[in-house]
């Protein structure tokens, strides 16, 4: 399964990743190689398929819905690159609007 | 040990040894910070703890309050977690000393610890080779004798493979045996914290301390901590399966000889040894390299320059900020896996890749159940197809790198406990043997490992 430069750029947009032109040819070649390699799982007849397997407990245990003391040593203002008045600061949403998203 | 003076001396000695092992590039914590923290921890540690004064190095994708947690990535440079991972909190409560954070492949994605933003880690016995990965820093420090034990994490063999390359013991517990709270997520259905030790006992007692229920992780089973078995006189009554798919014709000759010797020892110890088949094994690596990147592409979406770590400024809008931060903050292997993960989950490809991989995972897990249902207690296999490879040897071909995980990813896919222990050497390079157990029967696996460790000449040429 080969992918094209255009497909890699489309996937990169979906993944919110900048890919520079210089690395695109190598990245495309490596992705094609990886996708060809993993596609071999299609060799096993579908009739052999089993119900999806998920490890861990059979049922999710829910925590009690109660307010507890703040469990962290410090708040998000210490972690975030820009934070003010309880909010993470980011640039405007311009491109979302332009692309109609 | 219960003497505070001895704990302080232990802390200082550990710091000295870690600093002396600087050439390995295994510890990411600066020496001054490490010394100060170890001294402080030794003074605060509770003398009644079962690990009192024991220095334990911790992989840099496990959250610690005392040190930064960067996951070997530029995108989390300088990040300090506001809480300790449950495993770390349990170690501290048992009196252990957190002996710095160790180098790893970025976000645990790699098999050589070459994919770290902080430089590659070096094999402790041969500087031209890799220590394995992704938990290569912890493995190298334990193998060099700098610390008696370390924490690593596994998504697809990242404890057992470096343990094998470095000639030490590495245990991956059953999925759900150890809390994942505070383990930075890569592939949530596969991730588990594992342990390294210079002996089975050191690794097992650290595992015993960090295991057990945790209300903060709903995937952690509500079970008591692991109880350590005693060292057995023999393995009478054990049935050990040898899966034929793990001994392909092109298996490295020295690895095969070392395994044959270990199998002879198992028989001499009284175990019944029989050949078994796990027919879907050849599809394990492709299955893993669909599921793990798919989960990673989702888990790593949170690193966007808005909430954690550094941001790459200058973007005119928020989307450009995300793309620039992620495009420059992640290294090439992480970018590649995010792209593959996004691709296999995207419209038109989901059924052919992701859904199919989930079905294959079920078949692989069923293979193990079939074998265990027929009376087999444990499986024995090589841990890796070859001893440690040269640095740079597999960097240009990601698939060649992925195939070094061929014998270890199955246990992650099936959620089973597995461990590697030294079974011989070739030209000074260690070779590891793998035991795979049944879910939550780590005690049986460790019991067999105790016996094997005592009888197999793990440091002699195979």
Alpha carbon of residue B27 to chain centroid: 16
Burial bucket for residue B347 (CB in 10 Å: 0-12, 13-18, 19+):
exposed
- pLDDT of A95 > 80? The answer is no
Average the pLDDT over each of A50-54, A88-92, B216-220 and give the range with the smallest value. Answer: A50-54
Helix (H) and strand (E) counts for chain B? Answer: 14, 10
Q: How far is A90 from chain B (nearest CA, A)?
A: 6
Q: Under a CB-based contact definition with an 8 Å cutoff, are residues B288 and B412 in contact? A: yes
Each domain of chain B, given as residue ranges in start order, spans 4-210
Question: B434 to each of B268, B302, B373, how far by Cα in Å?
Answer: 18, 35, 20
If one counts every other C-beta atom within 10 angstroms of the C-beta of residue A20, the result is: 9
- pLDDT of A100 > 50? The answer is no
Instruction: Give dist(CA B174, CA B194) in Å, integer.
Output: 10
If one counts every other C-beta atom within 10 angstroms of the C-beta of residue B279, the result is: 16
Instruction: Tell if the CB–CB gap between A19 and B319 is shorter than 8 Å.
Output: no
Q: Under a CB-based contact definition with an 8 Å cutoff, are residues B124 and B143 in contact? A: yes
Which tens digits make up the pLDDT trace of B136-176? 999 999 999 999 999 999 999 999 999 999 999 999 999 99
Average the pLDDT over each of B25-29, B218-222, B263-267, B439-443 and give the range with the smallest value. Answer: B218-222
List, as ranges, residues 21-80 from A with C-beta within 8 Å of B.
23, 27, 30-31, 33-35, 37-44, 48-57, 60-63, 71-76, 78-80
Average pLDDT for chain B: 96
Average pLDDT over residues B417-430: 97
Average pLDDT for chain A: 86
Residue A49: per-residue pLDDT? 62
Percentage of residues of chain B with pLDDT beyond 70: 100
- pLDDT of B403 > 70? The answer is yes
Sign (positive/negative) of CA torsion B80, B86, B87, B91? positive
Instruction: Give dist(CA B307, CA B328) in Å, integer.
Output: 16
ipTM: 0.92
Instruction: Give dist(CA B216, CA B193) in Å, integer.
Output: 15
Count CA atoms within 13 Å of residue B364 on its CB side: 29
What's this model's pTM, rounded to 2 decimal places? 0.96
Radius of gyration of chain B from its Cα atoms, rounded to whole angstroms? 21
Which tens digits make up the pLDDT trace of B300-335? 999 999 998 899 878 889 999 999 999 999 999 999
- pLDDT of B107 > 60? The answer is yes
- pLDDT of B447 > 50? The answer is yes
Helix (H) and strand (E) counts for chain A? Answer: 3, 2
If one counts every other C-beta atom within 10 angstroms of the C-beta of residue B68, the result is: 17
Which tens digits make up the pLDDT trace of B173-195? 999 999 999 999 999 999 999 99
Q: How far is B124 from chain A (nearest CA, A)?
A: 31
Average pLDDT over residues B116-127: 98
Best residue in A6, A7, A11, A13 for a mutation probing chain B (most B CBs within 10 Å): A11
Of the candidates B263, B223, B250, which has an alpha carbon nearest to the alpha carbon of residue B378?
B263
- Catalytic machinery residues of B: 59, 134, 158
Q: Under a CB-based contact definition with an 8 Å cutoff, are residues B147 and B141 in contact? A: yes
Average pLDDT over residues A83-98: 80
Instruction: Tell if the CB–CB gap between B346 and A11 is shorter than 8 Å.
Output: yes
The length of chain A, given as a count of residues: 101
Domain B4-210 -> CATH class: alpha beta
Residue A101: per-residue pLDDT? 45
């Amino acid at each position: 399964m080969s992918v094209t430069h255009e497909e890699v750029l489309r996937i990169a947009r979906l993944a919110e990743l900048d890919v520079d032109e210089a690395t695109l040819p190598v990245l495309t070649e490596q992705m094609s190689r990886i996708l060809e390699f993993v596609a071999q799982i299609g060799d096993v007849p579908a009739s052999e398929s089993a119900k999806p397997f998920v490890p861990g407990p059979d049922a999710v245990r829910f925590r009690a819905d109660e307010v507890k003391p703040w469990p962290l040593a410090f708040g998000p203002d210490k972690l975030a690159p820009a934070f003010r008045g309880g909010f993470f600061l980011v640039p405007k949403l311009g491109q979302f609007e332009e692309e109609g998203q | 040990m219960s003497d505070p003076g001895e704990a302080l001396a232990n802390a200082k000695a550990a710091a000295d040894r870690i600093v002396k092992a600087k050439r390995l590039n295994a510890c990411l914590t600066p020496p001054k910070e490490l010394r100060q923290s170890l001294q402080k921890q030794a003074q605060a540690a509770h003398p009644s703890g079962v690990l009192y004064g024991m220095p334990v190095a911790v992989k840099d994708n496990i959250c610690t309050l005392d040190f930064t947690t960067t996951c070997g990535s530029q995108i989390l440079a300088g990040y300090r977690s506001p809480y300790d991972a449950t495993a770390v909190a349990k170690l501290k409560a048992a009196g252990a000393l957190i002996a710095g954070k160790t180098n790893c492949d970025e976000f645990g994605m790699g098999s050589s610890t070459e994919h770290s933003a902080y430089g590659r880690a070096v094999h402790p016995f041969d500087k031209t080779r890799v220590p394995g990965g992704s938990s290569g820093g912890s493995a190298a420090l334990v193998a060099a004798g700098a610390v008696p034990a370390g924490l690593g994490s596994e998504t697809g063999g990242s404890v057992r493979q470096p343990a094998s390359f470095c000639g030490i013991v590495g245990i991956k517990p059953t999925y759900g045996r150890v809390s994942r709270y505070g383990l930075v997520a890569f592939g949530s259905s596969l991730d588990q914290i594992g342990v390294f030790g210079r002996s089975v006992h050191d690794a097992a007692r650290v595992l015993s301390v960090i295991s057990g229920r945790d209300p903060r992780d709903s995937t952690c089973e509500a079970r008591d901590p692991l109880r350590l078995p005693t060292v057995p006189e023999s393995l009478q009554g054990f049935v050990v399966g040898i899966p034929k798919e793990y001994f392909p014709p092109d298996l490295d000759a020295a690895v095969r000889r070392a395994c044959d010797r270990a199998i002879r020892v198992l028989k001499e110890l009284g175990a019944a040894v029989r050949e078994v088949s796990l027919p879907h094994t050849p599809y394990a690596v492709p299955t893993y390299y669909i599921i793990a990147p798919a989960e990673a592409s989702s888990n790593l979406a949170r690193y966007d320059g808005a909430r954690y770590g550094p941001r790459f400024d200058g973007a005119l809008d928020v989307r450009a900020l995300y793309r620039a931060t992620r495009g420059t903050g992640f290294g090439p292997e992480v970018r590649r896996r995010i792209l593959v993960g996004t691709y296999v989950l995207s419209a038109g490809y989901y059924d052919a890749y992701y859904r199919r991989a989930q079905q294959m995972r079920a078949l692989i897990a069923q293979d193990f159940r079939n074998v265990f249902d027929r009376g087999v207690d444990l499986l024995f296999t090589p841990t890796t197809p070859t001893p440690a490879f040269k640095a740079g040897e597999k960097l240009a071909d990601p698939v060649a790198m992925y195939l070094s995980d061929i014998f270890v990813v199955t246990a992650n896919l099936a959620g089973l406990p597995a461990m590697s222990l030294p079974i011989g050497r070739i030209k000074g390079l260690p070779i590891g043997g793998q035991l795979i157990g049944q879910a939550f029967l780590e005690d049986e696996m460790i019991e067999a490992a105790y016996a094997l460790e005592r009888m197999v000449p793990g440091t002699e040429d195979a």
